[in-house]
Amino acid sequence: MPIFGFYFTDGPPIRPANLHAVGQRKEALPSFRVNGLERKINHDLYIFQYTLSGEGRIRIGQTYYPLHPGTAFLVKAPGDHQYELPQGSTHWESIYIALSGKELDVAWDQLTNRLGVTPHFHEESTLIYLLKKIYRQAENKQITDGFQAASLAYQFLTELYRVANRRQESPVDWPDTVVKATEYIAAHYATIRSLDDIAAAVGLSRFHFNRLFHRTTGITPIQYLTKIRLDRAMEMLKNEALTLDEIADKVGLSTGNYLSRTFRKTIGMSPGQFRSRHNYLPLDHITFD
């Protein structure tokens, strides 16, 4: 899978963070390992890597940590760490970003102290959506200068700090009502007609439920419903025999035209463009203005 590295001679004179690389990898060889003390680099790198599927593990100092789907790690390279496939793992798929910058040494220590070295991020995390968005921009050759690269690096760093302060990324921290609502939406997204349907399913008033859901997840129930519908639509777009009207009907949207408008507004491209690119990196995390 591709890895994209960046070196720009232009950019803002003051950069809290620089974008060094972003990539996705899928490892299946038992011999795969990366040792942080053996990396040949001429400046420090600050790496955030997130497990998409399979299982990996990382040794930090003398301690080993499992890396299951939803688990990330934060490390500095060079550093005393090593990540690899553990015995019995058939594969390990992950996505990562590497940042650089003189200011990051203190920032990374602070973030690691707040989040832990292997934090877990719920599938609706805006942080992972942002990481995938940066990856897609790199893959589509849309990161074209140092100013844009520095801006993306700073966005990611800022989002990491926001998450560290919020500490509500794990579903175990969510109220039971919100968890029940997400499960209901995932099961009935094609037939839900309004916010009232979801609120009734969890036994709360429309107003109280909407406020609780937004306070917990950062998005409204309807935005979450739209996210689920677009997730399913992207899966269906892999089947080129399905028309947009058919996909719209299957995910609970009124018409193919409405699906196309919603898709373009949220994803940044039309369903046709998405389908023609054959770019099926899972887009599990959609944010809203």
Q: Is the pLDDT of residue 253 over 60?
A: yes
Sign for the CA dihedral angle at 235, 222, 173, 129 comes to positive
Residue 175 has pLDDT above 90, yes or no: no
261 vs 165, residue with greater confidence: 261
Q: What is the pLDDT of residues 149-167, one digit of tens each?
A: 889 999 999 989 888 876 5
Phi (first) and psi of residue 118, to 5 degrees: -130, 70
pLDDT at 224 > cutoff 60:
yes
Token pair for 193: 């007609």
Range among 4-13, 96-105, 186-195 with highest mean pLDDT value: 186-195
* Domains, the chain, ordered by start: 3-166 (2.60.120.280), 174-277 (1.10.10.60)
Judge if pTM exceeds 0.95: no
Which amino acid is residue 233, in one-letter code? Answer: A
Predicted pLDDT at 85: 94
Residue 70 in contact with residue 60, Cβ under 8 Å?
Answer: no
What is the model's pLDDT at position 202? Answer: 94
- Determine the pLDDT at residue 114: 80
pLDDT tens-place string over residues 186-222: 899 999 999 999 999 999 999 999 998 887 777 789 9
Which residues fall within 8 angstroms of residue 92, CB to CB, at 6 or more apart? 26, 27, 28, 32, 51, 53, 54, 55, 56, 67, 85
Gyration radius (Cα) of the chain, Å: 20
Confidence at residue 267, expressed as pLDDT on a 0 to 100 scale = 73
Handedness of CA 138, 89, 278, 258 (dihedral sign): negative
pLDDT of 123:
60
pLDDT recorded at residue 243: 94
Kindly tell me if the per-residue pLDDT of 283 is higher than 60: no
Predicted pLDDT of residue 172: 54
Rounded Cα distance between 231 and 261, Å, is 15
**Mean pLDDT, residues 111-138 taken together:** 84
Quick one: pLDDT band at residue 279, thresholds 50, 70, 90?
A: very low
A 10 A CB-CB count for 72 gives: 24
What distance in Å separates the CA atoms of residue 183 and residue 43, rounded to the nearest whole number?
45
Helices (H), the chain: 104-115, 126-139, 146-166, 176-188, 195-202, 206-217, 221-236, 244-251, 256-267, 271-277
| pLDDT on residue 173 | 65
Q: State residue 74's pLDDT score.
A: 94
CB-based contact 96:87 (threshold 8 Å): no
Q: What is the mean pLDDT of residues 262-287?
A: 66
Mean pLDDT, the chain, rounded, equals 84
Higher pLDDT, 93 or 129: 93
